[in-house]
Amino acid sequence: MAQRQLNIQSDEAFSRASSLAERLGRTTTDVVVEALRRFEDDMAPRNEQGRTPEQQRRFDRIKALARETARHKLPGATSNHDDLYDENGLPK
């Protein structure tokens, strides 16, 4: 498939894209595509919690990881570490 071309006549757009590309060590095309993806994500519809579809996918992956990790918790294990610290919060 032949590559399509986008021609933007804006000194500011050129300057911003070139500057970012140089700073990131990427091509201007990569920078523009990434910016458009992020803008599109920002404009995506949000769910009841205010999350975009991508944010919800990430949230769901984190929750799944937390559930998987919880399965490995030993019975009686606690996050209370009072036995390691004195009344001033310093290590014993």
3-class DSSP assignment, residue 85: strand
Q: Are 41 and 52 in contact (CB under 8 A)?
A: yes
Q: Which residues pair with 91 in a beta bridge?
A: 85
Q: Residue 1: pLDDT above 70?
A: no
| pLDDT in the model for residue 79 | 84
Query: pLDDT, tens digit, for every residue of 17-74?
Result: 999 999 999 999 999 999 999 999 888 888 999 998 889 999 999 999 999 999 999 9
Residue among 16, 48, 54 nearest 35 (CA): 16
Task: Tell me the whole-structure pTM to 2 decimals.
Answer: 0.54
Q: Residue 83: pLDDT above 90?
A: no
| pLDDT in the model for residue 81 | 87
Return the structure tokens found at 35: 């910016």
Q: Which distant-in-sequence residues (6+ apart) come within 8 Å of 50 by Cβ?
A: none
